[in-house]
Structure 1
């Protein structure tokens, strides 16, 4: 009769003691390696990981949580949206968190719910997460100020709606990117740049408008009236019909690529050529931006870099609370110049 290896409770899976025996180290050293603690030589770390791989050993997350007082999980508060920006940022967070060995718990908010962030944060705290990432892009933080948060918080691209022991920020470079897009058009020779803005309840739309206006003021240029859209190509098309009727318009910075694409369609329907008559810059660099007619000049958002850098800093303060936080890394502005921009038409 074939019998198991005699593990307690009938389990036949490898244990840390088995890894220690095969690697020729103590069980405490195995624990140090898997807890990513310092003072373990590279050779010992390699031997332990090789032994674990050969045995098929995996850490017991529940036991580790009991021992450390942590669940090794991060919570994310995000808007439930199919828009490119929020979706891409959430995907970047999922990849970044997976690489840290932490679990990810996501709670979506609903646009128009003033207590959505507070409710989502409360749900995550009830689940015992070790840290919270807030990437709520809309100014609907009513009720959050009185919420007691006792874990570190990472806020991506928005003002912090929470009070916590430690609040980290990342991904707040939209104003700089908008400034670069506007400056590109000015450097091509346009006297001013019109702006097709996103809905101003969104922090990102506010930042892009702020960067556009700052670039014009710093250059001593006229600041035209702002035209507003709702992020959709349809709203860009509607705004484009009004802009196309104004023959003084020679350059437009749109707050996202979808609105820019709708704008270009409206300009074409009005007989205004892009870029010969009107130059257009978008924002995001959605996958289709390179394949529209003409290919769209745009600012590429560094979603993965922001997510990875932010998660790395959050995990660091969770696991090493006595050390200073890691410095924030600001990704460089990535302006992707394609065929939708050029010099202004000759008069």
Structure 2
């Protein structure tokens, strides 16, 4: 594996939200404005069509429109990793090929969900995506939602392939993260998934992170990453604690994505409400979220001024 080729993908990626119009249809202009809002924040790139992007709640054609809009807006400015996982292998392959045609930098996928699949079934599912393009592939491991526990044996087989360059590790164990890094090797990328454990993941070997709450505080996660890279671990730990207080507030609402999207609306970035069955924000939550939004902006300014 070419170390320099892989290392250029390290860093902080926003797991980008969906963007709909007022009728709940994908709105490509809103998608573009959202993507544009992250350029210049310090993030390495965008993870498009994953959990935070509601990819599995959209049709194949909707997902394609989102990817096209993102790449039209920020291609060449931000690294774009497209989640192409779908329940059926043919849909996943179609999305993979489309991502490459549009100029995406990498593709990534969860295993198919709902059915309880064997290692062999998941391996075949992923392999067909990998073989369908020339793009690097990043495994997406999130067993608490997919119901699939990636075994060390399957992971090792996948990681031996040149095009499989990393894993988005959204499981809750930093020990498991460290084991993936150990098995994959120094040149294999591991992205921390749980936002609350960004610093712990980096300490245990992660090369960066991909997260949903990054979308309302990208600069804070970039600051956290910078403090880690500079060896200022006490300060990094203090910032992670402050970030986690914000996350604890966010997950206390009926819809995390609804809460995050409402805060973006307060900043003038319209993304619509989440697609059902995900909930939108209730009116009684508007003022508490406005206060939380002010807290995030103040903390962002604090760390920006302390650089």
After TM superposition, the score normalised by the length of structure 1 is: 0.27
Larger gyration radius, structure 1 or structure 2: 1
Higher relative contact order (CA 8 A, sep 6+): 2
Structure with higher helix content: 2
Give TM-score scaled by structure 2 length: 0.30
